[in-house]
């Protein structure tokens, strides 16, 4: 197996690693209930996406009973 000719400098390593940083998630408001939702995803609270119900979600009162 080959061995590197020279040691990588700190600057070179940090420039390479600069792309490994975590990025903030972009959240949007659900038009139906107003909760924060990832864009292009159905709301897990009410089950709506683009004004249409796409997921059947149990009501809040049913969740509280359990």
Over residues 19-28, the mean pLDDT reads: 92
Write down the pTM of the prediction: 0.54
How many residues are recorded in the chain?
66
- pLDDT for res 60: 58
Domain positions in the chain? 24-65
- Dihedrals phi, psi of 34, to nearest 5 degrees: 85, 5
Q: Average of pLDDT values for 27-49?
A: 91
Percent of the chain with pLDDT over 90: 50
pLDDT of residue 1: 79
Q: How confident is the model at residue 59 (pLDDT cuts 50, 70, 90)?
A: low
């Amino acid at each position: 197996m080959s061995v590197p000719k020279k040691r990588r400098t700190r600057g070179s390593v940090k420039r390479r690693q600069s792309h490994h940083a975590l990025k903030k998630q972009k959240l949007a408001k659900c038009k139906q209930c107003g909760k924060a939702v990832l864009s292009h995803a159905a709301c897990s609270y009410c089950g709506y996406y683009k004004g249409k119900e796409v997921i059947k979600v149990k009501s809040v009162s049913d969740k509280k009973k359990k």
